[in-house]
Amino acid sequence: NAGVTQTPKFRILKIGQSMTLQCTQDMNHNYMYWYRQDPGMGLKLIYYSVGAGITDKGEVPNGYNVSRSTTEDFPLRLELAAPSQTSVYFCASGPRGTGELFFGEGSRLTVL
């Protein structure tokens, strides 16, 4: 059982480049989330989805986009990367109504 899988694990981008962080879960969870974690800080919510075709902004959505075309996949798109987007990005999923949350291992992004 793979759980929540994130790719890539590490990436270095130049300012202005774009990229997509991939997230896939095999637990048939309705809810999926993208968080970012900066050093010494807690996690901040970027976007979330309560089901295929539905997405909502979190606390820090600027500079990011998401889509949810299937239950399994929830990619996070960074357009015009900026140094402020240097962070560790975590994808998580959970079943409806339980509050449970399962996290991926994270994707470490550096923008230079």
Partner 1 sequence: KQEVTQIPAALSVPEGENLVLNCSFTDSAIYNLQWFRQDPGKGLTSLLLIQSSQREQTSGRLNASLDKSSGRSTLYIAASQPGDSATYLCAVEGNTPLVFGKGTRLSVIA
Confirm or reject binding of residue 42 to partner 1 (CB under 8 A): yes
DSSP 30-94: SEEEEEEE-TT--EEEEEEEEETTEEEE-S--TTEEE--SSSSB--EEE-S--GGG-EEEEEEEE
Residue 103 as a binder of partner 1 (CB under 8 A): the answer is yes
Nearer to partner 1, 17 or 75 (CB): 75
Q: What angle do CA 65, 6, 51 make, to 5 degrees?
A: 55
Stretch of 14-22, 28-36, 64-72, 74-82 contacting partner 1, by CB under 8 A: 28-36
Radius of gyration of the chain (CA): 13
Assess 72 for contact with partner 1 (CB under 8 A): no
- Using the minimum distance from each CB to partner 1, give the nearer residue, 72 or 102: 102
Among the listed residues 42, 80, 40, the one whose alpha carbon sits nearest the alpha carbon of residue 58: 42
- Choose the stretch contacting partner 1; rule: CB under 8 A; options: 19-27, 29-37, 60-68, 70-78: 29-37
Under the criterion CB under 8 A, does residue 33 sit at the interface with partner 1?
A: yes
Residues that bind partner 1 (CB under 8 A): 4, 31, 33, 35, 40-45, 48, 58, 90, 92, 98-106
